[in-house]
Amino acid sequence: MTSDAFEQLLLDWIAGSAACAFDDVLLEVHAFQRENNPAYGRYCAQFPVPRRWQEIPALPQRVFKDHAIRSFPESETARTFRTSGTTGEGYGEHHFRSLRLYEAAAKRGWDHAGLSDREVLALVPPSSEVPYSSLSQMATWLCAEDAFFTRGGAAHWDELADRIASRNQPLVLFGTALAFLDWFQHLSERSIGLPAGSIAVETGGYKGTRREMPKAELYALFQSRLGLPANEVANEYGMTELSSQFYARGVGTPHLAPPWARGLVVDPATGTEVADGETGVLRLFDAANLWSVCALQTQDLAVRRGADFELIGRDPSALPRGCSRTADEMLGGR
């Protein structure tokens, strides 16, 4: 099967027009990447050929900072997104041969999270201003051109308040946790009434700053400033190195995956899945991530909740010592 035909098969599956078993498709994606991604192929050579999706070798997330991870020729690169580049860590890059799968996963994932049929107002810059931001690209697919209230290097909070006041249909407010915190501080003790049925979606986003707030405190501000109870605030968990997103509503609830993605909570010492209710390191699998790798070892801790996971937060020390160094050695040069 050609890469274009494979892409179309995945697009049909994400759209719901093709019936596919997750295990079968992900193993096919992995086989394609093992053959077409020389760097990943070298890494996989130390592992047996997987028989189940859970056995697919997961590439450590930080490897994207030091190696070009492509399952296609470099000359065919259509777009590259960069990670936020926390001070001292450098940038990671995610290269795409096509954005069709990323766009389909973002839009259908939004549908699966129950966020459709609402106007989306963005508290992030448009992609035209930050072309290397995957989050802004996602927002550009979800929002109208005039629905961005962080632009030109400034936040336009009064315009956002006017826009909300002019609407009587449900809205989705979409932005980083830091952007919402800035907005709430601008509001001071004021509050804004949202149309009934409105939802807020925060994406995290304190990394690289000195400002941070516990989730429960942030969600209390959604209640006091916007009248949104915690169950009407969602967290979107995604990353530059993936193409799909996971969503959770409220505090202390699990993140749910779309049909073409999964999360696996593993013991950092053994790499095996932990028991239900136990804590481990989060490993993510994403069939829409055709152009790089479909299995990613994160540096985030999570609690297994059945087939889903409850995110705790980032803890680089949770990874076995030498894990990323071993990956670097197996990957070789860029």
Instruction: List residues bridging with 281 in a β-sheet.
Output: 266, 301
Beta strands at 171-175 and 119-122: parallel, antiparallel or unpaired? parallel
Instruction: List residues bridging with 187 in a β-sheet.
Output: none
**60: part of which helix (H) or strand (E)?**
strand 59-60
- CA-CA distance, 238 to 261, in Å (whole number)? 11
Indicate whether this model's pTM tops 0.85. Answer: yes
Say if CB 230 and CB 219 are below 8 A apart.
yes
Please give the share of the chain, as a percent, with pLDDT higher than 90: 84
CATH superfamily ID and name for 3-78+256-331: Luciferase; Domain 3 (2.30.38.10)
> Taking the domains of the chain in order of start, what are their residue ranges?
3-78+256-331, 114-249
- Per-residue pLDDT at 189: 86
35-61 in b/e burial notation, b at 16+ Cβ within 10 A? Answer: ebbebbebbbeeeeebeebbebbbbbb
Average pLDDT for residues 116-126, to the nearest whole number?
97
Radius of gyration of the chain (CA): 20
Average pLDDT for residues 272-295, to the nearest whole number?
97
DSSP letter, residue 61: G
Give residue for tokens 């999706």: 53
CA-nearest of 265, 266, 292 to 134 is 292
pLDDT for 206 beyond 70? no
The dihedral sign for the CA sequence 85, 241, 95, 258:
negative
Please give the share of the chain, as a percent, with pLDDT higher than 70: 90
Q: In which band, very low, low, confident or very high, does the pLDDT at 167 lie, cut at 50, 70 and 90? A: very high
Instruction: List residues bridging with 154 in a β-sheet.
Output: 151
Residues composing the chain: 334
- Per-residue pLDDT at 18: 81
Between residues 199 and 327, the one the model is more confident about: 199
- Per-residue pLDDT at 270: 92
pLDDT for 318 beyond 70? no
- Per-residue pLDDT at 334: 47
Q: In which band, very low, low, confident or very high, does the pLDDT at 19 lie, cut at 50, 70 and 90? A: confident
- CA-CA distance, 58 to 26, in Å (whole number)? 12
Cα atoms found within 13 Å of the Cα of residue 150, Cβ hemisphere only: 19
133-136 — which CB contacts under 8 Å span 24+ positions? 133/81, 133/82, 134/81, 134/94, 134/102, 134/238, 134/240, 135/176, 135/203, 135/238
- CA-CA distance, 90 to 219, in Å (whole number)? 31
Q: Which residues fall within 8 angstroms of residue 85, CB to CB, at 6 or more apart?
A: 91, 92, 208
pLDDT for 325 beyond 70? no
- CA-CA distance, 118 to 116, in Å (whole number)? 6
Average pLDDT for residues 183-196, to the nearest whole number?
94
Task: Calculate the average pLDDT of the chain.
Answer: 91
